[in-house]
Amino acid sequence: MLNSDFLPGYLSQSENIEELPKQSDVVIIGGGLLGTALSYYLAKAGVEVTLLERNDLNREASGTNAGSFHFQIALHQLTENMTEADDKRLVDETKLMLDAAKLWDDIEKELNADLGVHFTGGFMVAETQEELQVLRDKQRIEEAAGLETHVMTGNEMREFAPYMAPDLSGIAFCPREGHANPLLVGPAYAYRAHELGTKIRTNCEVSRIEQITGNPGYRFKVHTNRGTILCNRVVNASGAWTAELSSQLGLNLPMGLSGLHVNVTEPREFFLSSMIQHIGRRLTLKQTANNTFIIGGGWPSREEKFPLRYSNIWESAAGNAAVAVRVLPMLKDVQLVRVWSGVWAYTNDFKPILGESEKIPGYHIAMVPTGFTLGPMVSRMLAEYMTQPGTQNLLPKEFHVDR
Ligand SMILES: Cc1cc2nc3c(=O)[nH]c(=O)nc-3n(C[C@H](O)[C@H](O)[C@H](O)COP(=O)(O)OP(=O)(O)OC[C@H]3O[C@@H](n4cnc5c(N)ncnc54)[C@H](O)[C@@H]3O)c2cc1C
């Protein structure tokens, strides 16, 4: 039973203004979805946690994303000449998505909060015969992994989704896909973590992580604008800034960052309950509960140095809208009313960086590119690793921090 009165929001400032604790078993850097979810799962297992966020909670990627669950295989996961090894990799990656889907099934009950979770399905569309073949190939792999998808063409497609452009070469439909409200999920985790004893300090920027010896029980001194804190274990969950902080310790992470653009339209009568993606072009599209359309899919925004926000680019607004109209022609006279952008961190192989560094014992990283979909699950995996000795096999080798 959900507690409909519970609206996860920012925590009361009364605790936040208290001093930084002098020490903590675990210090988590970053109050996005990964940091807050991890603090919850660790606190639930009885671990002493302090979470440090330089701004407010959930203000970066975790509060600026589109909220989609991406379970179907997407373009970036495919290679030009797919081998048997690629097929196997994709089966594994799809199984991971299915595990994430199971977590999302139960998350509202777990956190006793309405987080806007919906499983109303997702389309992947194709415009050309080559793209249609990709839909068929990926469907075979998804089936092997246990993810239900259906490829439709011609009249079957037009009957199933009459609002789509009738000349698309085909569509894949995945009933399991869906979305949740990104403004609510991270704060709900933080709220519940706080109830379980996690100390959360916002406006607390970590400037340096110092490895120390000679202070029994503590391996790190974390320096912030609000003082220092000793800890045994650090988790860097600082999203797009993960590499910057890690480089101080001599780690060179295989990651990059990019600004992503999102369009929002005026409302129209509700008809689109499923999300739409494109197998060959950059598009994610969905209609929200207040009837507007959110259109994204990886169009870039312009880099600005923190604390400035990434700024929007006209070509991205127009290019993104053009792909949306191509797929859903009825959008052609719908006005764009606003745009936003956020900073997205990715890895070169699109896999998470998750676990403890062998070079720097006690130093952990929690970072994942498809981080709304996978964030809660990888955070729970890391919490299990950190609380149960000998559970290294919970973390796939290809996620390794020192890879
Ligand atoms: C526009 C956009 C759309 C997206 N759409 C989707 C989607 O539909 N589905 C999906 O699965 N994923 C999507 N993503 C990706 C997803 O949002 C991210 O992968 C995920 O939110 C990452 O969470 P995080 O906690 O690692 O990072 P963040 O949410 O960025 O959190 C990191 C936090 O660390 C803090 N921090 C940084 N440096 C310091 C420091 N020195 N000291 C203290 N704190 C620090 C930051 O202030 C920030 O709050 C999208 C991303 C963007 C930008």
SS3 per-residue string spanning 133-190: HHHHHHHHHHHHHCCCCEEECHHHHHHHCCCCCCCCCEEEEECCCEECCHHHHHHHHH
Q: Residue 269 Cα, ligand 1 centroid: separation in angstroms?
A: 32
In a domain, 111, yes or no: no
Return the DSSP state at 237.
Answer: -
Q: Ligand 1 center to residue 231 CA distance, Å?
A: 24
* Same domain (yes/no): 164, 206: no
| 171 and 266 housed in the same domain | yes
Which residue is closest in CA terms to ligand 1's atom 18?
371
Distance between CA atoms of residues 133 and 139, nearest Å: 10
Residues 336, 292: Cα–Cα separation, whole Å? 9
Alpha-carbon Rg for the chain in angstroms: 21
Q: For the chain, what is the domain count? A: 2
Q: Is residue 87 part of a domain?
A: no
Pick the atom of ligand 1 nearest to 284's CA.
Answer: 8
Question: Taking Cα atoms as reference points, which of 213, 217, 311 lies closest to residue 260?
Answer: 311
Q: Are residues 247 and 280 in the same domain?
A: no
Please give the pLDDT value at position 216. Answer: 82
* Residues 230 and 287 occupy one common structural domain: no
Q: Is residue 369 part of a domain?
A: yes
Question: Ligand 1, from 41, 65, 206, 224: best to mutate by most atoms within 8 Å of Cβ?
Answer: 65
Which of 302, 325, 346 delimits the end of a domain? 346
Instruction: Supply the residue whose CA is at minimum distance from atom 20 of ligand 1.
Output: 371
CA of 133 to the centre of ligand 1 (A): 33
Same domain, residue pair 306 and 329 = yes
126 CA distance to ligand 1 centroid (A)?
A: 29
- The string of DSSP letters for 58-104 reads T-SHHHHS--EE--S--GGG--SS--HHHHHHHHHHHHHHHHHHHHH
Task: Output the six-digit token pair for 304.
Answer: 């600005």
- Closest protein CA for atom 41 of ligand 1: 206
State in Å: Cα 239 to ligand 1 middle: 5
What's the gap in Å between 370 CA and the centre of ligand 1? 10
Cβ–Cβ < 8 Å for 146, 160: no
| Same domain for 218 and 155 | no
Q: How far is the CA of 167 from the centre of ligand 1 (A)?
A: 37
pTM: 0.95
- Give the end of a domain, one of 346, 369, 391: 346
260, β-bridge pairs: 300, 342
**Ligand 1 atom with least separation from CA of 59:** 49
Among protein residues, the one with the nearest Cα to ligand 1's atom 35 is 30
Q: Does residue 93 belong to any structural domain of this protein?
A: no
- Is 249 found in the same domain as 261? no
Residue 51 lies inside a defined structural domain of this protein: yes
Q: Are residues 360 and 241 in the same domain?
A: yes
- 71 within domain boundaries: no
Between the CA of 155 and the centroid of ligand 1 the distance, in Å, is: 41
Q: Atom 16 (ligand 1): residue with closest C-alpha?
A: 371
Residue 81: inside a domain: no
Could you tell me if 46 and 134 lie in one domain?
no
Residue of 241, 253, 275, 276 to test ligand 1 pocket, by largest number of atoms within 8 Å of CB:
241
Residue after which a domain boundary falls, among 302, 318, 346:
346
Which atom, in ligand 1's list, is nearest to the CA of 237? 26
The residues with which 402 forms a beta bridge, in sequence order, are: none
Question: CB within 6 Å of ligand 1 — which residues?
Answer: 29-35, 52-55, 59-62, 64-68, 70, 205-206, 237-241, 245, 260, 262, 296, 342-344, 367, 369-373, 375
Q: Would you put residue 182 in left (φ > 0), alpha (ψ -120 to 50) or beta?
A: alpha
Q: How far apart, in whole angstroms, are the C-alpha atoms of residue 49 and residue 236?
A: 13
Give which of 186, 208, 215, 169 is closest to 11, Cα–Cα: 186
Question: Does 277 share its domain with 331?
Answer: yes
The enclosing domain of 314 has a CATH number of 3.30.9.10
Closest CA to ligand 1's atom 50: 65
> The domain spanning residue 363 has which CATH number?
3.50.50.60
Q: Which of 50, 54, 350 to mutate to test the pocket of ligand 1 (most atoms within 8 A of CB)?
A: 54
* Residue 250 and residue 134 share a domain: no
What was the pLDDT predicted at 81?
78
The number of beta carbons lying within 10 Å of the beta carbon of residue 235 is 28
Query: pLDDT in tens for each of the 403 residues of the chain?
Result: 344 455 555 566 777 778 999 999 999 999 999 999 999 999 999 999 999 999 999 999 999 999 999 999 998 888 777 788 888 999 999 999 999 999 999 999 999 999 999 999 999 999 999 999 999 999 999 999 999 999 999 999 999 999 999 999 999 999 999 999 999 999 999 999 999 999 999 999 999 999 999 888 899 999 999 999 999 999 999 999 999 999 999 999 999 999 999 999 999 999 999 999 999 999 999 999 899 999 999 999 999 888 888 999 999 999 999 999 999 999 999 999 999 999 999 998 899 999 999 999 999 999 999 999 999 999 999 999 999 977 777 799 999 998 8
Q: Which ligand 1 atom is at minimum distance from the Cα of 371? A: 19
Q: What is the pLDDT of residue 5?
A: 55
Same domain, yes or no: 317 and 393: no
Would 85 be classed as within a structural domain? no
The range of the structural domain enclosing residue 290 comes to 116-176+256-346
Strand partners, 201: 52
Decide: 272 and 163 in contact? Cβ < 8 Å: yes
